[in-house]
Structure 1
Amino acid sequence: MTLVSRVFGYLRDMVLAVYFGANGATDAFFVAFRIPNFLRRLFAEGAFAQAFVPVFTEYKEHRTAAELRELLAHTAGTLASVLFVVTALGVLGAPLLIFIFAPGFTDNPHQYALASEMLRITFPYLLFIALTALAGGVLNSFGRFAIPALTPVLLNLSLIGATLWLAPHLSQPVVALSIGVLVAGVLQLAFQLPFLLRLGLLPRPRLSRTHEGVRRIMRLMLPALFGSSVVQVNLLFDTLVASFLAAGSISWLYYSDRFVELPLALFGIALGTVILPQLSRHRAQGETAGFEATLDWAIRVALVIAVPAALGLALLAGPILAALIEYRAFNAEDARMASMSLAAFATGLPAFMLIKVLAPGFYSRQDTRTPVRIGIAAMLVNMGLTALIVTPWYLLKLPGPHAGLALSTSLAAYLNAGLLYRGLRRDGVYSKPRWAGLFWRTLAASAVMSAVLLWMTPPLSDWAGWDAPHRVLRLGLMIGAGALAYGIPLWLLGVRLRGLLGRPGS
């Protein structure tokens, strides 16, 4: 279901690129979308989910059904009330938020006003999508992973519909995208409610911060608001700096980040989502061996996917963009600029994926403080690297300084992942790693794949002369050849898919 969602996500981004291109107006939308989307990551895939699922799982294992429903009702009421206040403040303070997150827009009054207008429309998305995250956390705790994974399709369909049917009727067509975001928030929440009703867990929200379970969730959640989403904090910092660079820089970063998000969501986020309830259950039942085996399984799967995916994205960055979105408004220069940041983001994919896998090892034990400390260190390093890499790049007027932002984020992610791993080893909850041999075999197979891709890749200038079917066919053949060039050596080195992708902890 995550694969289905991401395929529609690619279609969404292709439609946006082809119809709107990369310019000041699209930069304004991506900033207006990124701010509530950043908060969504905190609530939906970050702090809230990491705090809620362990406590909810503990109630599910050790409390009565009535107590479980009561926890859900009080959590829903408290979350909704907090989000309503945050949403109201966000709508009222939209110009100030744009000034904080994209100060470079102030040099262009039209762009600044456009971004502020769209942020007022997109910000309520946070309220609906965070409640959708609550519903998804409940469903995941009961082993219902498909519906929450499929739900983002509605966002993609809403944005595609807004582009094709609403945008032509507006004086400022790009504003249609912000309306599409708001509609998608309502649809995603409505989609999950019937499935909660089927479980007998459709909440009747009640406001009570004194409820014991809610207090524990809030206590775990507050420090994790930053720590669990340091990658997103870094992306927001990139947006701030990019607002001072050439028009289109924010859009180039957005599209390149989206292609890295495809494998990250398919495997990294999906793995983290699946193992968090399992790790929480092992922890609640005192099964230390099962806890460690589940964590090790997730690391092994992440490595065997992330290493070749990172190399493939870096080597094929230009062909991917030329074949998939270099049409109409998104021109060859846009593709060239976006390919630079895509290659830079791709270098950090293994670290991004490991963060998603390692962080649940802390949250399942209701330890949110350690990831916070690690997140702060990684963010400070990212800022320092940005100054060291982007400043001389910009001052020397070299092409593509936005790619330096992506590279800084990737390097900081490795520090984040390394410190998380060291923390799990130090705590004694992951004392017997079994992934070292697999890693070296994965690296060897990836080297073979890289050699094949380098041999097969034609000059980027050739792609502009081909029509769309030719580009897509050529890219497909290269990806297929790369997959075989990776899979066959991996198989010859003794790695078997059935053994690797067995049940977590098996």
Structure 2
Amino acid sequence: MCRVPRTRSPPLSRKLFRSTAVVSAMTLVSRIFGYLRDMVLAVYFGANGATDAFFVAFRIPNFLRRLFAEGAFSQAFVPVFTEYKERQSPEELRELLASTAGTLSGVLFVVTALGVVAAPVLIFVFAPGFTTDPARYALASEMLRITFPYLLFIALTALAGGVLNSFGRFAVPALTPVLLNLSLIGATLWLSPHLHEPVVALAIGVLIAGVLQLLFQLPFLLRLGLLPRPQLAWAHEGVRRIMRLMVPALFGSSVVQVNLLFDTLVASFLAAGSISWLYYSDRFVDLPLALFGIALGTVILPQLSRHKAQGAVADFEATLEWAIRIALVVAVPAALGLALLSGPILSALIEYRAFNAEDARMASMSLAAFASGLPAFMLIKVLAPGFYSRQDTRTPVRIGIVAMLVNMTLTALIVTPWYLLKLPGPHAGLALSTSLAAYLNAGLLYRRLRLDGVYATPRWGGYGWRALVSGAAMAACLYWLTPPATAWTGWDALHRALHLGGLVGAGALAYAIPLWLLGVRPRALLGRPRG
């Protein structure tokens, strides 16, 4: 029987896997509540002009959150903080943290104040199509003024999370987003009935969530003896290094989010509900991306930074190899399952009351298109730490610029004729363009790592083709077993859920069995030596 070649095991692979499992488990809890949140939002508010206005008002500060929290800030802060932790005294480490917290707070306070004042201008820039509907434009501007301060609180939450991750405390930062989901659910159920415009309750829920998430992490910093006393310190050497790393990374670290924001801009000119359809489909793709892609990236960044600080070149390469093969084996079935089951997923989970069958059909088109890019989205999350851990933020910027320009070009080439020919679902073309651009982004990141010599001997190929073969078997199984779309609409919620659960289980077996027969074993996949 053909087996995957034996490879050198990455050091600490068991510890890395345990850390990734912790992040994934906590993220799963958060995503379950996230699904409940989206279900409540869809059932109560549906997909219409008002929900489009909220999603734009939420997406703007959330986009900046991705840059400051999960993007440029974390990728600039963690390597510098880890270096101080490894090489400097505890007093110098606390001084760096206090200086960073104070400087970041000062910058974000100014940005937040400007964002609140300039809310109508920002809506015009990011959703110019709203200007044709004055009521929707005014509603979006009002809600953006409420949601924008979320950026300040969530960026400070990211600072706390980066500190905790650097000390191997991954569970708390991964669990923190649950509070956002609970806040939005509570705002929908208890606050919205009392407001003249019920959807404004969601904006208030976002603001409350930002405060709660920051307060939740502070006791854990206190337990480590690292609760900072913020101080403005622009001249601090560590702060200046973080800022220098952040400036180019502000764009390059979150090019996927830039593309999604561009999708929002274009979708504002399409049919009412298009932004909401894109939002719900993106949320389902975000589940496996967060559980594995973001979790892997979160766990390996401090580890890669430590290897770089110690000059452990072989360990650096082995850690990257471990993350890539995990990402591939997970991303292939997740992408195929989401694409093939896009209709059943939406029908079973959110097609109720205000979110009707037509909404589910439209959202399923963009879900399938987004799902096709999941392997690339996941690889970007895994490959980018290979640069940030070496304090190289310029290379991802250059690659990000290329990918964004390609995305815009593809949008024009795909969406324009789709729209002009009046074909159904032009918003799906936006999702497809984003997915294709992500493959270019991931490919260029990978090529650069090879050329830099930090990933000279890749060994993931054996896992890659076996994942594709097993994925093909899974796709055939799901295609044969899935009932037609018309059948789902006629079933009640329990019947839909049972059918969807059965399909997911059958798909998982149809993927796992061929993978096993082709020689992939969990022990080898996780990097442990064969006994």
Q: TM-score of the superposition, structure 2-length normalised?
A: 0.94
Alpha-carbon offset, residue 498 of structure 1: 2.9
Q: Aligned partner of 2:243: which letter?
A: M
The residue matched to 2:196 in structure 1 has which SS? Answer: coil
The residue matched to 2:401 in structure 1 has which SS? Answer: helix
Moved over 6 A (4+): none
**1:273-327 Cα shifts (integer Å, max 9, x gaps):** 0000000000000000110000000000000000111011000000000000000
Q: Aligned partner of 1:413: which letter?
A: A
The residue matched to 1:365 in structure 2 has which SS? Answer: coil
Match of 1:59 among 76, 84, 91: 84
Counterpart residue number, 2:74: 49
Counterpart residue number, 1:331: 356
Q: Aligned partner of 1:275: which letter?
A: I
Q: How does 1:33-432 map to 2 (within 5 A)?
A: 33-432=58-457
**1:391-442 Cα shifts (integer Å, max 9, x gaps):** 0000000000000000000000000000000000000000011100110111
Counterpart residue number, 2:13: none
The residue matched to 2:231 in structure 1 has which SS? Answer: coil
**1:26-81 Cα shifts (integer Å, max 9, x gaps):** 00000000000000000110000000000000000000000000000000000000
Alpha-carbon offset, residue 258 of structure 1: 0.3
Q: Which whole-Å CA distance do the structure 2 matches of 1:174 and 1:497 have between them?
A: 46
Number of residue-to-residue matches in the alignment = 504
Q: Aligned partner of 2:266: which letter?
A: V
Does the C-alpha gap of structure 1 residues 368 and 503 become closer, same or farther in structure 2, counting only changes over 3 Å?
farther
Q: Which whole-Å CA distance do the structure 2 matches of 1:18 and 1:231 have between them?
A: 28
Q: Aligned partner of 2:211: which letter?
A: V
Q: Which whole-Å CA distance do the structure 2 matches of 1:210 and 1:70 have between them?
A: 12
Counterpart residue number, 1:472: 497
Q: Which whole-Å CA distance do the structure 2 matches of 1:18 and 1:317 have between them?
A: 18
Alpha-carbon offset, residue 496 of structure 1: 1.1
Q: How does 1:21-40 map to 2 (within 5 A)?
A: 21-40=46-65
Q: Aligned partner of 2:79: which letter?
A: P
Q: Aligned partner of 1:381: which letter?
A: V
1:459 maps onto 2:489 in alignment: no
Alpha-carbon offset, residue 484 of structure 1: 0.4
Q: Aligned partner of 2:110: which letter?
A: V
**1:70-111 Cα shifts (integer Å, max 9, x gaps):** 000000000000000000000000000000000000000000
Q: Which whole-Å CA distance do the structure 2 matches of 1:66 and 1:37 have between them?
A: 34
Q: Aligned partner of 1:363: which letter?
A: Y
Q: Which whole-Å CA distance do the structure 1 matches of 2:351 and 2:456 have between them?
A: 48
Alpha-carbon offset, residue 503 of structure 1: 7.2
The residue matched to 2:120 in structure 1 has which SS? Answer: helix
Counterpart residue number, 2:512: 487
Q: Which whole-Å CA distance do the structure 2 matches of 1:182 and 1:496 have between them?
A: 46
Q: Which whole-Å CA distance do the structure 1 matches of 2:158 and 2:441 have between them?
A: 25
Q: Aligned partner of 2:373: which letter?
A: G
Q: Which whole-Å CA distance do the structure 1 matches of 2:423 and 2:252 have between them?
A: 34
Q: Which whole-Å CA distance do the structure 1 matches of 2:171 and 2:523 have between them?
A: 22
Q: Which whole-Å CA distance do the structure 2 matches of 1:110 and 1:302 have between them?
A: 44
Counterpart residue number, 2:4: none
The residue matched to 1:304 in structure 2 has which SS? Answer: helix
Q: Which whole-Å CA distance do the structure 2 matches of 1:414 and 1:439 have between them?
A: 15
Q: Which whole-Å CA distance do the structure 2 matches of 1:135 and 1:424 have between them?
A: 30
User: Which deviates the most, 391-400 or 488-497?
Assistant: 488-497
Q: TM-score of the superposition, structure 1-length normalised?
A: 0.99
Unaligned runs of 5+ in 1: none
**1:251-273 Cα shifts (integer Å, max 9, x gaps):** 00000000000000000001000
Q: Which whole-Å CA distance do the structure 2 matches of 1:12 and 1:487 have between them?
A: 31
**1:361-396 Cα shifts (integer Å, max 9, x gaps):** 000000000000000000000000000000000000
Q: Which whole-Å CA distance do the structure 1 matches of 2:261 and 2:227 have between them?
A: 35
User: Which deviates the most, 143-152 or 2-11?
Assistant: 2-11
The residue matched to 1:70 in structure 2 has which SS? Answer: helix
Alpha-carbon offset, residue 200 of structure 1: 0.2
Alpha-carbon offset, residue 333 of structure 1: 0.2
Q: How does 1:431-450 map to 2 (within 5 A)?
A: 431-450=456-475
Unaligned runs of 5+ in 2: 1-25
**1:118-138 Cα shifts (integer Å, max 9, x gaps):** 000000000000000000000
Q: Which whole-Å CA distance do the structure 1 matches of 2:115 and 2:344 have between them?
A: 39
Q: Which whole-Å CA distance do the structure 1 matches of 2:463 and 2:488 have between them?
A: 36
Q: Aligned partner of 1:54: which letter?
A: P
Q: Aligned partner of 2:340: which letter?
A: L
